Amino acid sequence: MAQKFRKIGVLTSGGDAPGMSAAVRAVTRAANARGVQVMGIIGGYRGMIHDEMIELPNREVSNKIMLSGTFLYSDRCLEFKEEEGMQKAIATLKKHDIDGVIAIGGDGTFRGAPDLTNHGIPSIGLPGTIDNDITATDNTIGFDTAMNTVIELVDKLRDTCESHARCNVVEVMGRGAGWLTLRGGIAGAADVILIPEIPYDIDKVIDKIEERDANGSKFTIIAVAEGAISKEDAKLSKKEYKEKMKNYKYPSVSYEVAAKIQEKTGREVRVTVPGHMQRGGSPCPYDRVFASRLGAEAGKLILKDEYGFMVGYKNREIVKVPLEDVAGKLKMIDPDASIIKEAKLLGICFGD
Ligand code: F6P
């Protein structure tokens, strides 16, 4: 079979995730082993537009598997969404004789990849985001490491929360979907988990706090996803919600949850927002292996002259899914999923 790809570009884009560097390493090794040259595109699609590239022979990806962040840098590039930006990007790729692109990132990254394909540059996507919200894959590069970070934080929070018999609210990343909050919350033994997929009623949260109090547990850990929403707000139309948010008086939803508990119960509530710390750290063993497997598969697809796919992981198998079936489709938690039912059996309150 004719080998179409002689030289590919690899980039990381969107919010960085532990394991992205490991994925770049794997793609590079797999491609180089098949005689395909690799260029690292710096700063995601921005580097494509502004011609920032480095050559990636095998020796350049030594000592990269354990790196945090991404050594190719990342960006959310608005310019790439404009036709002018796209044309500049295509011109850069042509100038370097790049026949195809492997893009590692989240949903925003995958929205860009089919556009490239439509402009004659075939692309392959690898899911890299701590949010685990990419459709058609059970896992994303960086999610497991981020979960470990969340668990460590919640464990530490519990120490002081218990000593002071307080309520502690911890805000976990995830605007559109609550995967990190759900799994991190279960593993960190949070008492309340609030996620975008299950709008909450603050009175139900307070009932849980009081139930714990009555049972002798004087402290409560509440894990709140960035995108958690109250039942009241979930009923608003998009326009009404936008209007309401113009006058929003809290820094973020976790402060709102804390303030309401404090107002209604007079209890002392503290808020912790670990923020971007959740994206840092050296990738855990799972993410190193996962990134390596996906990268190797991407290399295989190149050899087979196959593109237009995201390489993902479904039901314990590496799969390839057409990029157009992935881009723009967030993977949300099903409120009726068995994991939610099991968590409820353990006494975790979702505020519903
Ligand atoms: O990469 C995903 C993510 O970390 C989300 O969980 C979070 O909502 C968002 O990125 C934050 O983006 P930024 O780094 O642009 O503030």
Question: Tens digit of pLDDT for each residue in 57-81?
Answer: 999 999 999 999 999 999 999 898 8
Residue with the larger pLDDT of the pair 297 and 108: 297
Q: Burial level of 327, CB count in 10 A (0-12/13-18/19+)?
A: buried
Pocket test for ligand 1, best of 68, 109, 134, 279 (most atoms within 8 A of CB): 279
For 293, half-sphere exposure in the C-beta direction (CA atoms, 13 angstrom radius) is 16
Residues with catalytic function: 131
What is the rounded average pLDDT for all residues in the chain? 95
The pLDDT value recorded for residue 299 is 87
Cβ–ligand 1 distance for 64 under 6 Å, the answer no
The pLDDT value recorded for residue 215 is 95
| Residue 167's pLDDT band (cuts 50, 70, 90) | very high
Q: What is the mean pLDDT of residues 4-24?
A: 94
> How far does CA 138 lie from the centroid of its chain?
12
Q: Which atom of ligand 1 is nearest to the CA of 175?
A: 8
Q: Which atom of ligand 1 is nearest to the CA of 180?
A: 6
Q: What number of helices (H) and strands (E) belong to the chain?
A: 12, 11
Cβ–ligand 1 distance for 107 under 6 Å, the answer no
Q: Which atom of ligand 1 is nearest to the CA of 174?
A: 6
Condensed to tens digits (0 to 9), the pLDDT of residues 180-225 reads 999 999 999 999 999 999 999 999 999 999 999 999 999 999 999 9
Cβ–ligand 1 distance for 133 under 6 Å, the answer no
Tell me: pLDDT of 104 over 80. Answer: yes
Q: Which atom of ligand 1 is nearest to the CA of 15?
A: 1
* Residue 188 token pair: 């960190």
| Residue 1's pLDDT band (cuts 50, 70, 90) | very low
Cβ–ligand 1 distance for 297 under 6 Å, the answer no
Q: Which helix (H) or strand (E) holds 322?
A: strand 317-322
Cβ–ligand 1 distance for 46 under 6 Å, the answer no
Residue with the larger pLDDT of the pair 229 and 114: 229
Tell me: pLDDT of 324 over 60. Answer: yes
Q: Nearest residue CA, atom 2 of ligand 1?
A: 15
The pLDDT value recorded for residue 3 is 55
CA 77–ligand 1 middle distance (angstroms): 14
> How far does CA 10 lie from the centroid of its chain?
19
Q: Nearest residue CA, atom 13 of ligand 1?
A: 15
Cβ–ligand 1 distance for 129 under 6 Å, the answer yes
